[in-house]
Structure formats: structure tokens, C-alpha cells
Chain A
């Protein structure tokens, strides 16, 4: 028998006892459907996280700060009588635990000298008193740190240009109307003013052009305005006016490295920074923990779906054992006519695989339809505050792998009845009443 005929016959045999086949396929369908939804959930959430990662910062930067006193890598910390006083001195409030030494210009030089560091920039943190448009109402606002390479999720307009000499800013979508703009389009190109109090208590006003309107995100730029480098520098300079010696110390610095060199190189760079007394955090580190939790949950959900599929696998075993029993004489006849045991095995295992294919194909298609419908519905209701979040999303690879997985399970289930059919003695089978 040719392979094509084996498949053809197996497919035809599948529909011979329709009720039984439909029930078995239904069981597979339930498993495949569930697996599609749970996988879709994982894909959707992770895709959103990836999007958020791009928003928080570029892949080629890490945030570097002095190691906190409490941060030691391994095991319990050795007692150090000086450390107590050290942390006591720097305590910000009652029970305050630790202080982080600021990054100084000397530190920047040290960091820049470390192998693998392409460039280092101090992260200038600025705080403004209010934002205002055209003498309208003043609103409190926080100013985000703009790291070159980060990408805001924009409702309209464009990203603030890091290299532009003019101060530019992207404002959150929630600020558009309160500030007095008629629409997002109206806001673009408009001017906003930031009130800043300097070290001496004097107030200053810095103006910037609105180039973009940002969506509120999960982690990133939720309710803060996103300035470009020029605006950050200007705000920082104004804020530091009159400060003594404070101008050149920063909370943290941003190191640019080459992510193309791979994980080991990045880790080596981190280790070097660690030795020099700094902690370095990449965007991946910040997001990684979050993502592992999501992955863990999705894994558990998937496990439930796979359990459903295993149960369906026993359904296949049951169905095909009945078929083998019913078709004993037919099998005997085919063997008498010179059909090899291997082909008989192929016939029944293909039938099982085909059932798996039917169940998974229907399950995957309906799963995608249902998942997309639910995802869309939730996006406009429950997750309306998180634009860009499609709770259940699908990518072709994972969808295809579900089908393949289900077919593999079905094939394995089919080997039991197929093996029994292949072992049948033609004489015994023909005698079977």
C-alpha cells in the first residue's frame, strides 16, 4: 500500500463510525481549545510586556548605581560595626534602612574605564512643580527619565528627539484636555511651561514644545511627561541653580553596552561593575521577574490543558481498540491479501493522528476566534486603561506547535490499538465471529 493510500484509507476509516469519532474528536477539541486559549494568554501578556520593555528603555542600556549597603550577593552579611553608623547617618526617616552613595563625576570616569562600557551618562532626575499651558490651570506632574532608545507608546505625534537642540516633550494623553488643548492634534506643536523651584527657593519657568502624546502604560510613562535630552538638561540646570556641590552628583548613571555580544558578555560587564562597587540593572532584569511570574502561571494553565489532552488520548485508545475489534476480520483479510504488519500499524496510527488533527484544528481555530473575541471585549472594558494590551494573542508558531503536539499525543495513543492490529494473526482474524 502506498503511503498516500494509507493516509487516504485511514481518513476514510475515521468517518466510518461517525458518532464515536465525533465524541473522541470533541474530547481532543476541548483540550486543544483550552491549550490555545492559555497559550494565547501567555503570548498576549508577554507581547505586551515586550512592548512595555521597549517603552521603559532600550535594550543596550543598563542603569548603574552604587551598591546599597544591604546588597551583598551571597549569604548572610558579616557584622561590621561601622556599617551601622553609616546607615544611621544616612537614614532618611524613621527606621530608614540604607542610603545609596550618589554617582559622582569620578565614578563616571571609573565606569567609563570598565571594559565593555561604550558610554556612560548620568541619569539626571528632575522634579517640576507644575505644568501649564497658556496660563491655564497648573497641574502637578512628574518628569520621566529619558533614556536614548526608549520608545513611548504614542497616541499621536512622534517620539521626543534625543538629539534635538530645542526642548521637546511628550505629554500623557490624560493631560491633553485638562491643559486646555482641544484635541491631541491641537496639542502637537503647542507649548507647555514647567515651573521649577531651584535650590535657593526661587521659581523658574521652562517652556517646551509638545511633539507627542503618550498612551498610559503598564509600568513606564504612565502619568509623567517624557522630555528629550535638551529639556532634561535645561530643567536640571535650572533646578540646580544655587546648589552647592550638588550639581555633579546623580542618583544613577546609564551605561550603554553592546547587547549583540550576548548574555555572557553582558554578565561579565555586570560582574566587573559589581567588583567596582556598582549594581547594574538591565531592562531585562527589571522586567524579567515579572515575565517569569507570567510564564509560570501560563505554564500551570498549559499543564491543565495538557492533562485534558491526555484524557482525550485515552479516548482515542478506547475508540480505536473498539475499531480494531470490529474490524478484526477486515484486518485479517488485508493481511491475507499481503498487507504487511507495518502498513496495518500505519493505517491505525494514522487514523489516530488524523483524529488528533481534526480535534486540534477545530480547537485551534475556535480557540483563536473565541480568544480574539474575549481579548477584544476585555480590551475595551476591563483593560481600557491599558491601551495596547491584547490579553489573548496568537502567533503562528505556537498555534502550529499546538496542532503538532496534539497530533503527537494522538499518535502515541494510537500506537496501542495499532500495535494490537498489527500483531493480529490473519487466520485467527478471519475465523473471528
Chain B
């Protein structure tokens, strides 16, 4: 034996891939002992012991003929050569799959320790066929704490535990004579051979049928179950399987389904649906909070505060720009910490610190008298927070005043950034920082006040690094714990003494500023840690809550109308005008074609599938008529919908479907408010905006773009056109198809300004390719984007469908789960308008290949809308408070608020109820 071989074997066998226990058991000694290595090498390669549960020698040899031919040791080959090349060590460990799911999962180059950690700690599924999380759920109490795959391979499989929902080894053995008659052998056979051949994995998955239903899968030649598990499931594809219940004869003819019947309404069903959706969203919220891994900011409270005070000094300031007003009542150590943090912050301008001691009883508080250049107010008796601050304001000489609680600590840069926000914009009268808990969780990223006078701290307990909290924005108010004020804006008196001794005085101050036309701004890059003193005495806690209630009542008595106005959320629904004949559609689809043509033909694809949706109150309208438009607009208003985002089509040579808005513009009495959404995509035979079988192509030449901008400007001149802060709203449906989005945006802005508008509010739709690109609208030159559910977040329905339509091969999604997915997505560091969708189903357009959402109920929709209204309240302010709905009348996509025979006004009622539920609290 060559020395080199021994060394190599030793090195490789010391890999974390090799199981130490298995090694000792097989070779009678540890890997450190060279004699055991010698013993190992003395065995014939194929007689060597199995040293890892994660390695299947036969599988490795079968899938790596080079190893077999060269008679190499398969295990050592894997460790040395196979692993870096991502060859699979085991049928259930697919390294290519792992890396395709998460390119960083194994590191670069691949690190064996990370693979072992991934497997042992169940960090990710090792194969599409095995999901450790699912396995753990399936085993319930019997599940081990970790290493699910090890558990499965070391005994679970033999004991009849399932590898996944679909594969059944016993069934597979029975079905096919050539399959080894042991469970592992059967599993390996299926993974190596059976799936690729389209065999039945079990009674619930027939690969042949799956291929027959999804021709693209057959064409791609991929194993059907592998396809389903990696892609099909996420796409909502349906597993063809034997029916669970025997049905009489062939599939039921669709014609027996009663049409135009109202859906049954029982209180119990509605309550169940409402509560279930609420619970799903509450759990999602809690899970998000639990998932936060806060990083505690660098702050220190002095170990020996007395000594620290002795060392403390502030620079002299003859003409300070900033006065830092620190009110204090005892809490000596915190106060020292607060002042030390200021001293360490050294803002880039002259400042002074005014300590307002509200007759503290702690004798140590007298020590502050010795601090150089600390201005100090000492109350003779305790006057309470409000009066103490008001008195101290008289001592403040700065142009800006930072109110800073004595249990707060500014982090480096905060003072300069807050002052910067005031410098930058003379309309901003107050600026508040990001306030953190000492443990690093977010305490407040600005606040909003509900009409009842209660306030909500934006982002409470969340991850302070989450996108939405990392954007400066106007807010209703920021807590007085740390609030920088423009002295000239607040007048002679800081807080209203009506609010003495304390609570809501800061909200009252901010509202006073807003009422005077000033703004309050949240400045995300300025950070302050707030220790929040905890009151332990129950009696004082009740007293505190009562004081808060009294002051909230005062706030409402004084600012009630302003609060209601500030909290208002406007709802805008996407609107499709394709409900009238056009020459183009007559030509392409036959004379008389409108959306209704497809809508009425739809039939249920599976048991419980709600189709067709047939219009109720508004009938089969023609959107060229003023009467239909008036009735639509009146209905929308009745349920609190502000207006419509109307799709606009301009293909350069032709404008299509413009008759609707022509009628609206010609009839100023129709209470129809709108903004345009340029649907910049090709029209195709498939209604998918794609590039196949194009009917008319979207062009982007200069003349077309110019015409589009001119049209938008002309529409915006109508007093009914929707605006944000005076700027007309203009949406673009597919921003990434614009050859030069920033150029278009700039041209748009110039066009509006030329026409005398203060600008344009440019919004793009997060549709199709724009979802989750983490695009910033500023990169595209836009002001905001708008969610476009269900695009981008749809969650497939996994329940089996009882298919009615012979040959149907569509996609099913789960409405409540999709709503949850949309509600738990991270906020973003730019302006994104939330949207909701009532339901979605394009069976009218794709009868055999439709996509539908199961479990959509008005009650779930209501909870969804409430959740999104709260999102609007958190991240948007004033006229930016818009909630979009997809859609008002997409009848052929099953997304319509307009009444149909099945649900009547229930979607509209649900939306109104959601808005009204938020009108006070």
C-alpha cells in the first residue's frame, strides 16, 4: 500500500460526511487511529462497511458508471470528487436540487460540513421527494427533534412511514413485478426508473395521467412526480388520480349544474370563514414577529453612574442650533446614560442640553449641577411632564428643539439626520427617529392615530431592518420620547396644559402642527434606543390607563374631524372596459364579441367550482351607454369605492376600447371617478399578454408614447380624475416591457407640467414580471407601485378535486392561503399601494385549462381587506392612503365586485364593512 493512498483515505474518511459511530462500530477504532484506516483499505472496495446513512453505494455506482468501471471506492470518490461536482450520494439527497433552491445552501465551493448540517438540522428539503418539515408534521409526537431524513432511512421507511404524500412503496411493489420486494428497494426503483417511466407512485399519483393532462410535462420528458413536486404543485396543477368515491358512470355532464342560483348563506358558515381567515392572518403576524432575530444596538448604561457624571461635560455653545430638552424625574442611571449618549453623539453643529428636573427625590440628581455646560431647570415641586417640558422650553435657545426622554439614548448620527430633515424641507415642523428597544426590536417607526384617538406605533416589535421601516415618510405623529421640533413652528407653548400631567400631549402637538399646514416626518436613519420605564404597580397602571383614556377623549373632542380625515383610506378598483363591441374584436373573435361572450359559456370544471358568474343588478351591460356607467358609478359610491383604475389601450396605430371613457367624459354628471392604467401589452389569442399568436402588438415608438401622454393629460383635465396631492394618478401595467422606463417617466412628468399640472403621480402595477423583483420605483422613474394580487403569491390548493369536465387540466389555488401569503410579505422601502382581490377564476377564457381559487368567500375577503387597510395606515399618509381592488368587473377572470347571481352584493358589502370597521377604532 502506498503511503499516499493511506494519507488520502485518512483525509477523506475524516470528512464530516462519515459517521463516527458507524466507523467505530465497523472498524473497531476511531478515525484518528491510522491502523483502522489500514484495516478499511485492506477490504475489497465493495466489501467495505457503510459509513454513512446518507450514502447508498449501489445507487452511487449505478448513477456514476465511471466509478464502477474504475473500481474506485464509491464513498471516497463521492467525498473527493462527486461532492464538489454535486453528484448525488443517495436517491433522496439531490445536491443539484438543493443548490437550485438556494444557491448559497452549500457554499462555494461546496462545503461538506454545510451539507451535513443541512441534513442533520433539517434546514431544507434534500430532495423534491422528501421534505423534512412535512415528515415531522406527519409523524407528530413520534417525530425526532432533528435529522428527519436519518430517522426515515434508519427505520422510518421500514416501519411504513411515508416518504411523501404520493409514493406508496407497498402499492408500487404490488403494481409492478420488476420492482424489488423491499420498501427501500422499491423507493429507489421509483426514483431511479419508475418516475421517469411515468409509473404510478401510489393510488394517488399516476404519472401517465399527469403527463396526459399536462402536455408540456410530457414534452419536457421530466419525471411526472418530480415535476409535480418541484413545479407543478406551486403552479396549482392538479394531480390526476382515482376518484376517492365511486361515481355512477362517467363524469357528470356539466349541464346538470344549476345556473344563476344564489349561494346559500348560513350564519354558521360565514362565521367560520370569517374566524378562520382572521386566525390565519393572526398566526402569520405572530410568526413574523417570532421570526425576528433582533440585534441589540450598542448602548451602555454606566456601571457607576456617579463616576460617569463626574466625567461628563458638554462643549460650550454660545449660539446653539439645537437644544436638547431632557425632562427627568429620578431614574438617575438612565438619565446619565441619556446624557452620555448625547455627549458621544457629537452632532456636526453647536448644541446645548437642557435638563428639566421635575423635583426628583433622588439626591443623586443634584450631581448634574456639576456637569459643564449643562443647562438645568430644577422644579421646586413636582409639576408633571407637560408643565416641566413647557417651563424648560423657555431655556432652549436653539432653532431646533429635540425632546428626549431621560430613558432614551441617541445613537451616532441621529441628531444630525433629524436636523437634516428639518433643514431640507421648511414644511416639516417635526422629525422623529426610528425608536428601538434595548434588545434591538423596533418600538416605533412613526405612529398613526385612529379616529377614536388611540394611536398605533408602526412596526411595534418588528425587525427594524424591514424595508417599510427604512424609508423616510410623513406620519401623523411621532412619540415625544424623541422628537425634534422646529422652534418657530411651535409657538410660545410646547404642550397644551389641558393634557397635564401627561399622555397624548405629543399627539396633540403634532396634530396642532398638521392643522396649521405643517408636516411631521419619520427619519429612518436616525435611531434612538428607548428603555421604556415599566410601571409595576397595578393601581398606578389602572390610573395610567384612565389618564390615557381621558386624554384620548380630549384629543378626539379637539381634533376629531382632522383625525377622521387623516385616517381616511380611498378605495380604487381596477376596471375593464371590454364590455362593448369593437371593430377589432368583431374581426378577431366574431361579430358581437365582448367579455360576456366568454363569461356566459363557462361551466364548472370540478365539484364545488363556482361557474358561471352571471351578472345580477347591472345586467349584461354595454359600457358605451351613459346609463350603464351611471349605475356602475352609483353602485361603487354606495359601497364606498372612490373610483376606478381604467385600462387604457393604445397600440400606436390604434386606440382600442376607448368608447367607455369617451362617454364618461362627454357626460359630466356621471359620478364616475377614474385614473388611467395603460395596459401596455400585446393582445394575444390566449389573453395572456404573451408573445404567441399576437393579435395586435404594443409599440413603443416615440409617436405612440407621445400620444399616450397626451391622452393621459387630456383625461386628467376632467375634475373627476383621481389625484394624489394634486397630481393625477397614472398607472402602467407592465413597466418592465417599457424599453426605457425612466425616459418614459420623465417625458410623462414633463407632459403634465407643460399642461399646467403640478406633476403626475406615476404608479406601476406589480404584475407578472414585476413581482418580487425588488424593483424600486425610483429606478424606473416612478413614484409608487401597486400590488396586483393574486399575481406572484398564489398558493396552490393541495386538496384533491373531483373533476367534472372530462379532460380538464387546469390549476387550482387556495384563496385563504394566498391571502395569507400576501399579508405576510415584507414591507418595502418604497411606496407600495396594497391591493385586495375578491376571487379569481379565468375559466371563461380557458375552459379546459383555467386557473381558479377555491375557498374565496366574502367573509375571508373582508378580513383580508381589513388587514390591508391597516397596512395602508402604517405605511402611507394623507392622500397617499389608497387601497386598490383587483377588480371591479373582470368577469372573465372571476374577479369582480359587481353583483352576480351567486353572491349578489356580498363582495361589495364585505369591502364596505371592512372600511367601516376601521372608521372609529
Does A pair with B?
no
Residues of B within 8 A of A (CB): none
